[in-house]
A and B are shown apart, each in its own frame.
Chain A
């Protein structure tokens, strides 16, 4: 494959799939920082292996297979820190996660709408937490709130968003 075409092809396919890949990894690696590390490693391998990818094939299953290998590799490295699911459970969870892939884009769309309905202070809190990749303690220090309040606020906002997304998906399925 010509290097330039390969580069553009990869960018295009990766741009279309990276959300699903990250979501997939995130579900299999409970620790957020670790999930991001696995995602980075997955990206590196995807790029490195892309010349072996058949253009007529579906990019996402190929990418998820590589991502799962990276999850396995990460688990192998982190054996001594057992905050992980067992191997057989991970396999079954992986299968269910794959089944969820089809609705990933719908969920992302719904979440975008739900975020816009969120009150500004709550969006600001999410922004501080996710955009800066901060810990709850750092957010607490920045905002002057007790850390427990931050935890509770984040939990409440996530629950609200999840309920909003579910409502939106239910509405969309009724009125496609």
Chain B
């Protein structure tokens, strides 16, 4: 008979055979301690999957011509990234380089994967007018044909069919990387900065045609929203903390200590700190800081010097 620990590991690894499942059930039925251990073990496995970004929420988008991108939602409480393995997920540039020296092998692997990414991108955009994608471009709704994962130097492409929408696909931008996602109407989402930004399609969320909805939490998001269909807009959520809403604007939202910076360079943006504050309209040239300690607050600040993409 296989011991409990082995069965728990098999369950975590998805390798539980029918016989092992029966054995596990017999053990758990007989022993309350074993049941508690099983629940704790599986809870750990689930939390690891969440903390490392894989939630398994995948493609169910049905509306053509729309895209929804979400970061994995975190707690709605007004603290940021409190459960994230920050060393892995958000390394400042200096720390990353320092770590990179230690894990040179991993970076070398990343370089190989990056080359593979370029080769794959070349292949994918081989028939485009330029013959190559523009720098940082990883997907467009019209041309995207596969799973793209760029994270910490890794790149994978999965099975796809011609004409597939960017639905249920997961995009990660690792330290030093950047990526642009383009909607058919010209709206662009540029994900950048030396942070780890995870973007997923919110497949559980049907959209109205023309609307765009983004859940963003970490790093920096540079948005150029175009009008799209009349009456529709782009909404950026930050996991229960803030809502940005616009029909036509250029803005950058950046994670900051205790909240976010939002800088509008073109058009108008409605900024609302959840759960209660009234929305404020921020116009081109203005920058606001949204903080959550001790209570949600939106205040005007000077634009911070930043590297423009």
Residue of A nearest to B83 (CB): A112
Interface centre among B20, B49, B77, B154 (most CB of A within 10 A): B49
Whether the pair B73, A111 counts as a contact (CB closer than 8 A) is no
Q: Cβ of B274 and Cβ of A30 under 8 Å apart?
A: no
Taking the complex as formed, is B188 at the interface, i.e. its CB lies under 8 A from any CB of chain A? Answer: no
- Residues A126 and B48 in contact, CB atoms below 8 Å apart: yes
Indicate whether A126 sits within 8 Å of B52 (C-beta atoms), given known contacts A40-B57, A40-B204.
yes
- Contact between B85 and A112, CB atoms less than 8 A apart: yes
| Max count, chain A CB within 10 A of own CB: residue among B72, B88, B237 | B88
Q: Is A124 an interface residue (CB 8 A)?
A: yes
Check B51 against A11 for contact (C-beta < 8 Å).
no
Name the residue of chain B whose CB is nearest to the CB of A21. B46
Of A7, A32, A151, A158, chain B has the most CB atoms within 10 Å of the CB of A32
- Cα distance A109–B54 in the bound complex, in angstroms: 18
Q: Is the CB of B45 within 8 A of A120?
A: no
Contact of B16 among A13, A83, A109 (CB under 8 A): A83
**Total count of chain B residues near the partner, CB < 8 A:** 77
Report which of B12, B109, B213, B243 forms a contact with A32, defined as CB distance below 8 A: B12
Asked whether, in the complex, the Cβ of A85 is within 8 Å of the Cβ of B243, the reply is: no
Question: Which among A7, A13, A18, A162 is the interface contact of B55 at CB below 8 angstroms?
Answer: A18
Q: Does A161 contact B102, Cβ atoms closer than 8 Å?
A: no
**A159 to chain B: which residues have CB within 8 Å?**
5
B259 to chain A, nearest CB (A): 16
B128-186 residues at the A interface, CB under 8 angstroms: 149, 151-152, 154, 156, 172
Contact across chains for B206 and A32 when beta carbons are under 8 A apart: no
B256: Cβ under 8 A from any A Cβ: no
Contact A47 B43 (CB under 8 A): no
- Asked if B76 is at the interface (CB within 8 A of a chain A CB), the reply is yes
Which B residues from 43 to 80 make CB contacts under 8 A with A? 43-58, 60, 72-77
Given contacts A44-B60, A81-B18, A116-B86, contact A27 B39 (CB under 8 A): yes
Q: How many A-B residue pairs lie within 8 Å, measured between CB atoms?
A: 214
Q: Are B9 and A44 in contact (CB under 8 A)?
A: no
Identify the closest chain A residue to B170 (Cβ): A133
B114 within 8 A of A: no
List of B residues within 8 angstroms of A81 by Cβ:
18
| Distance from B25 Cβ to chain A, minimum over Cβ atoms (Å) | 5
Taking a contact as CB atoms closer than 8 A, the residue among A30, A130, A135, A151 that contacts B24 in the complex is: A30
Question: What residues on B are CB-neighbors of A31 within 8 Å?
Answer: 11, 14, 16
- List residues of chain B with CB within 8 A of the CB of A168: none
Tell me, rounded to whole Å, the shortest Cβ–Cβ distance linking A13 to chain B.
8
| CB contact between B50 and one of A19, A27, A85, A142 (< 8 Å): that residue | A19
- Cβ of B127 < 8 Å from any Cβ of A? no
Question: Which B residues are in CB contact (< 8 Å) with A115?
Answer: 51, 85, 87-88
Q: Is the interface of B mostly helix, strand, loop or mixed?
A: mixed
On chain B, the residues within 8 Å of A132 by CB distance are 54, 149, 151, 154, 156
Q: A1: CB under 8 A from chain B?
A: no
Q: Smallest CB-CB separation from B207: which chain A residue?
A: A7
Interface-centre pick from B43, B109, B213 (highest chain A CB count, 10 A): B43
| Minimum C-beta distance from B110 to chain A (A) | 11
B251 at interface, CB cutoff 8 A: no
- Provide the bound-state CA to CA distance between A26 and B29, in Å: 18
Asked if A131 lies at the interface with its beta carbon under 8 angstroms from chain B, I say yes
Cross-chain contact of B52 among A108, A131, A135 (Cβ < 8 A): A131
Q: Could you list 4 further interchain pairs (A-B, Cβ under 8 angstroms) beyond the known A32-B14, A86-B25, A162-B44?
A: A8-B274, A11-B215, A11-B237, A19-B50
Interface, chain A (partner B; CB < 8 A): 3, 7-8, 10-16, 18-19, 22-23, 25-27, 30-33, 35-37, 39-40, 43-44, 46-48, 81-86, 89, 93, 96-97, 100, 104-105, 107-109, 111-112, 115-116, 120-121, 123-124, 126-127, 130-133, 135-136, 142, 151, 154-155, 158-159, 161-162, 165-166
18 contacts between A and B (CB under 8 A): A8-B243, A15-B75, A23-B42, A23-B47, A27-B43, A36-B58, A43-B205, A83-B16, A96-B35, A96-B36, A100-B40, A115-B85, A126-B52, A130-B51, A131-B151, A151-B9, A158-B48, A162-B44
